[in-house]
Chains A and B, each alone.
Chain A
Amino acid sequence: MTVWNAVLLTAFLISAVSSLTLFLKTVAMRDDYDPSEPKGSIPPAVLYAYTGAMSPLKKETANRHWPTYTAGMLYHAGIFFSFFWLLILATGIGLPAVLNRPSGVLLASTALCGLAILLKRAVSRKMRALSHPDDYLSNILSTGFQVVTAVTLLSGSGTAVLFFYASLLFLYIPVSKLRHAVFFPLTRFYLALHYGRRGVWPPPERSGL
């Protein structure tokens, strides 16, 4: 194990333990006892919360903002793809070298999406009003992660830089807006409890009108 591998592993463990603690502490917190008689069923609502309700056709935040939504989806896909490559490179699992170039190009593209979102945040008056320094840094770190991964894959060198960069990212997750990655599944779950119990999710069968 190289020094940079060790740094990366340490940062990952700190981040994972912190994030898991955050998650478990939240899950373990008391929730109000709700004795209201349910109108709908929770399990299908939970399923719907992670599937149908996430459909861009169902969300104005998607279908009224196609460019931003598309860029956001690609940007997030790029982050997960970068983590995938980080795992590959850090563990030394050998993948055919032929995959490096297309993956690098793909990540460069998704990084551009991240950059576009960053520019929108910086340029739009509405977005500036809503943003804190943390929002910018979170985006810069996540976009940069994709850039560094792309460069590493395209150049065939620079894993030390990638590991160092990823370590910074790992350490920043639990203390920043990036912690939404930890809370996102819970958010959908709580929403499913709310709408499911009341019979709003999944949408009831239409009355035929």
Chain B
Amino acid sequence: MTISDERKRQGLDLLSEKMTGKLRTHLNSCVHCGLCGESCHYYLTYGEDKYLPGHKVDLIAGIYRRYHTLMGRVAPSWIGAHDLDDERIDEMIDVIYGGCAMCGRCTLHCSVGVDISFLVRTARSMLAAMDLVPASLQSTVDAAVTTGNNMGIPQKDLVDTLLWLEEDLHMEPGFEHAEIPLNRKGVNVLYTLNPREPKFFPMSISAMAMVFHAADESWTLSTDYYDVTNYAYYSGDDGIAAELVQRLFNEAGKLEAKTLVLAECGHGPRAIRWEGPRWIQTPYPFRALTVVELMAEYIRQGRITLDPAKNRETMTLHDPCNLARDGGVIEEPRFILKHAAANFIEMTPNRENNYCCGGGGGQLAMGEFAERRLRVAELKADQIRRTGAKIVVTPCHNCIDQLMEVNKEYQLGVKIKTMAEVVADALVLR
């Protein structure tokens, strides 16, 4: 691929613009010890040098050294400094987008503490500035920008689906008066959705409506901006990422919601809860938390009662990387499962050490790298198989999609469920 000098300049300018103390620190800290390889599911699967997290660091750190250090200018090859040339750019696209899930497992285990996923995202931002985001990922981002949700669901279709779900809900004993309120002002909770829910998994919306009903929560959905995902986080485009966060921020303000509850997703809550306030440079005047944390609160406060005997099959939990390792939602799902499932068994490793399912980093949106995505998931398949569980629960629709494919590819014979479904199944109505 031939990239014009002007576009390369845009990539380099972005690196300079993003140069904070944090970035400079992490760019200078890798010692090339090579011990990070065994923490990366790509390297463990392929064993190729290009997947070494240390190599991924070097792809961007080498550029930094070339243009921002004395030795890089005087003796570049001595210290591994390199130009941002066409060959390097090709490798960056292949590895930075196609060979990394930004799961952050290598960061946690790095012998020094280099924030490798942060550097990978910075490299993605450089590529985005050069207009080099893989087409499929970019189209997902574009859909969110132009239609308000990443799947391009027309508002009418969404409303029809939600009305149908509400009618359907009324047929469930105990939920005759349950609601799926739309655009209601002044409620406590503005609930978001992963667009995959209305499109492919509507029952997870019903499940959450049941939980809200049982908790006697004052809540609503917005039919304008409800998308919890933010694929610009993965493409590296901070401008668009901020725009998407701003929309939800404005929607919460418009509906005067006290709490923005982030649906079951990994990267979305990370983008909105943790990166969003920084992107829009504004603290949220409302509370933002994940639905997993909210359900744990309901249990703790006695707002919902669960009977674990209603979920008897052996269940295991897949920790979404962005939720657990980079979002601190680690014990809440376990607390919920303790109350909602009779036979819960941990994967090994788990919590912040859990392996990525393979679908992170925008991999599910990038058809270009689908083969790799499934192959690296063998590690996850083995983890699941070793538990002997019949159900894998995970509070992330991205992970669910990937795990459903993994289930088929590796013939695991398990059911994949959201956390809301498990909780709804265990509800005891008063």
Q: Do A and B bind each other?
A: yes
Assess A130 versus B55: contact at CB under 8 Å? Given A33-B278, A65-B35.
Answer: yes
**Chain A residues closer than 8 Å to B179, beta-carbon distance:** none
- The distance in angstroms between the C-alpha atoms of A167 and B111, with both chains bound, is 28
Per a CB cutoff under 8 Å, which of B77, B111, B115, B332 touches A190?
B115
C-beta contact mask, B235-275 vs A, less than 8 Å → 1, else 0? 00000000000000000000000000000000000000111
B326 beta carbon closer than 8 Å to chain A? yes
Judging by beta carbons under 8 Å apart, are B79 and A61 in contact? Answer: no
Q: Which of A29, A34, A124, A191 contacts B107 (CB 8 A)?
A: A191
Q: Is B147 an interface residue (CB 8 A)?
A: no
Say which one of A104-112, A147-155, A181-189 lies at the interface with B. A181-189
Given that A180-B29, A187-B113, A205-B331 are known contacts, is A31 also in contact with B22, CB under 8 Å in the complex?
A: yes
- The listed residue (B21, B80, B344) touching A134 by CB distance below 8 A is B80
Indicate which residue in B70, B77, B115 contacts A175 across the interface (CB closer than 8 Å).
B70
Roughly how many angstroms separate A206 CA and B118 CA in the complex, as a whole number? 27
C-alpha spacing A135/B61, complex, angstroms? 14
Within 8 A of A (CB), among B271-306: 273-278, 281-284, 287-288
**A32 vs B121: C-alpha distance when bound (angstroms):** 15
CA distance A135 to B31 in the complex (A): 8
**What per-residue 1/0 map shows which CB atoms of A13-57 lie under 8 Å from chain B?**
000000000000011111111111101100000000100010000
Contacts of A197 in B (CB 8 A): 274
CB-CB under 8 A for A184 and B39, given A36-B273, A40-B328, A61-B111: no
In contact, A26 and B25 (Cβ under 8 angstroms): yes
| Chain B 41-60 interface mask (CB, 8 Å, partner A; 1/0) | 00000000100101100100
Tell me which residues from 74 to 129 in chain A have a Cβ below 8 Å from any Cβ of chain B.
Answer: 124-127, 129
CA distance A187 to B52 in the complex (A): 20
In the bound assembly, the distance between CA atoms of A37 and B259 in angstroms comes to: 13
Question: Once the chains bind, are A187 and B282 in contact (CB under 8 Å)?
Answer: no
Interface string of A159-199 (1 = CB under 8 A from B): 00000000000000001110110111011101101100111
B71 touches A (CB below 8 Å): yes
Contact of B33 among A28, A72, A191, A193 (CB under 8 A): A72
Which residue on A lies nearest to B79, using beta carbons? A134
Contacts of B335 in A (CB 8 A): 207
Q: Does B19 contact A (CB under 8 A)?
A: yes
- Choose among B37, B70, B328 the residue with the greatest number of A CB atoms under 10 Å from its CB: B328
Q: Contact: B325 with A200, CB < 8 Å?
A: yes
Q: Tell yes or no: B88 within 8 A of A by CB.
A: no
Cα A35 to Cα B283 with chains together (Å):
5
A191 pairs with B115, CB closer than 8 A? yes
Is B34 an interface residue when CB atoms closer than 8 A count as contact?
A: yes
Q: How far is the CB of A182 from chain B (nearest CB, A)?
A: 8
Does any Cβ of A come within 8 Å of B94's Cβ?
no
Among B77, B275, B331, residue most surrounded by chain A Cβ atoms (within 10 Å): B331
Measured CA separation A65–B37 after assembly (Å): 11
- List of A residues within 8 angstroms of B52 by Cβ: 126, 129-130
B337 at the interface (CB under 8 A from A): yes
Q: Is the CB of B327 within 8 A of A198?
A: yes
Cα-based distance from A28 to B278 in the complex (angstroms): 19
Report the minimum CB–CB distance from A170 to chain B (whole Å).
16
Q: Taking beta carbons and an 8 Å cutoff, which residues of B are in contact with A?
A: 19-22, 24-26, 28-39, 49, 52, 54-55, 58, 70-71, 77-80, 107, 109-115, 118, 273-278, 281-284, 287-288, 324-328, 330-332, 334-335, 337-338, 344, 346, 351-352
- Give 27 pairs: A residue, B residue, CB < 8 Å, sorted on A: A26-B25, A28-B21, A36-B283, A37-B287, A40-B328, A53-B113, A60-B35, A61-B33, A62-B111, A72-B111, A125-B49, A127-B32, A129-B55, A130-B54, A130-B58, A132-B32, A134-B71, A177-B79, A180-B29, A180-B30, A180-B112, A183-B25, A187-B114, A198-B328, A203-B330, A203-B352, A209-B344
Give 14 A-B pairs besides A32-B278, A34-B277, A182-B28 with Cβ atoms closer than 8 angstroms.
Answer: A36-B274, A37-B283, A60-B109, A61-B38, A130-B52, A134-B71, A180-B30, A187-B29, A187-B113, A190-B115, A191-B113, A194-B115, A198-B328, A199-B330
